[in-house]
Amino acid sequence: MISRTGFFLGLVLLSQIAFPHHARSNYQGEVQEITGELVSFQWRNPHISFNVKATNKRGEEVLWKMEAGSIYMLQRAGVTSDLFTVGERVSVVGKESTRQTRNLLATNMLLPNGKEAVIMPNTDPYWTGEHIGGRDQWALDEIKVKNTASQNKGIFRVWSVTGGIRGDRRHVLFTESAIAARTAWDSTDNFAIRCEQPGMPRSMTGPHPLQFLDQGDSLLVQIEENDVVRTIHMDQTETQEEQPATPQGYSVGHWENNMLIVETTRINWPWFDGVGTPQSEQIKTVEHFTLSEDQSRLDYHLTIVDPETFTEPAIIELYWLALDETVEPYDCEID
């Protein structure tokens, strides 16, 4: 088990780096360990939530509202809704919100039977003893790749995130104006909280499965998070500049051996990330999807050009694995 000091440091970084797609930058307060009665929980997207009634230092009963990961992110690591029972006494640890009273980004919950549920998937156990979920359970998926070569589906299958949720590498240098614009961001009322579908390129970098579908003269990319569907035009006859601007933009693709190359323009989605960094309608993306020889891995290289947001082209690299999962309805619900 890691040290408590190391665990606390991980929590400090958690809301800044690991989960920006759910706009959790307001969880920068103290690490709290709360013990009390689990009075209710909501098993839903965009995040699972728990309500715990505890007693404060003055002996008063208070209600804590707690957020955790999404349904897919927890169930992928073995954390399911039947682990939690209303009325039971639990202990929860997490980072407190700086914007809302008694609001916690929960990472770990100790159940009455002594088992620990790690309820933020890229987190380590907090207590000693048996645990369910967490970073190590995601890592086990690396060895679950199916016999993809014999299936011979190529790119046209479901692809699952891995490598500690995304396993991505980023080279992103923002302009001063883009950084300054973040001050207007409302971490408690934004597109993620309102269950609005994100646009490009954000829609491609979330921690949920996606699927490629062959439509003949076009490809569809079906993304589980927020039920996003992208169209990639493979038989281009129209001028891109003449197409209407949309959140996903207008994408044109072509093949080079086992690599799919996609250029996207006409994007009118205003946000690059979940902390309020804006992007302009000048934005252009170029994606390279490279299939491994055994068809088990899909590498992704994304280049983003937007002179209002970046001082030079931004680069994001990540990969997906063929784990024979399915893309499920996201069914996001507003609190």
State pLDDT tens for residues 198-217.
999 999 998 899 999 999 99
The pLDDT value given to residue 122:
83
Q: Where are the domains of the chain?
A: 4-134, 144-321
The pLDDT value given to residue 138:
76
Q: What is the mean pLDDT of the chain?
A: 88
The pLDDT value given to residue 15:
36
The pLDDT value given to residue 23:
52
Q: Enter the pTM of the model.
A: 0.86
Residue 2 DSSP label: -
Class of the domain covering 144-321: mainly beta
Pairwise CA distance, residues 95 & 18, whole Å = 14
Question: C-alpha angle 215/220/224, rounded to 5°?
Answer: 140
Burial zone of 105 (CB within 10 Å; 0-12 exposed, 13-18 middle, 19+ buried): buried
Residue 196 DSSP label: P
Per CATH, the architecture of 4-134 is what?
Beta Barrel (2.40)
* Residue numbers of the chain with a pLDDT score lower than 70: 1-29, 141-142, 146, 163-167, 335
Rg (CA), the chain: 21
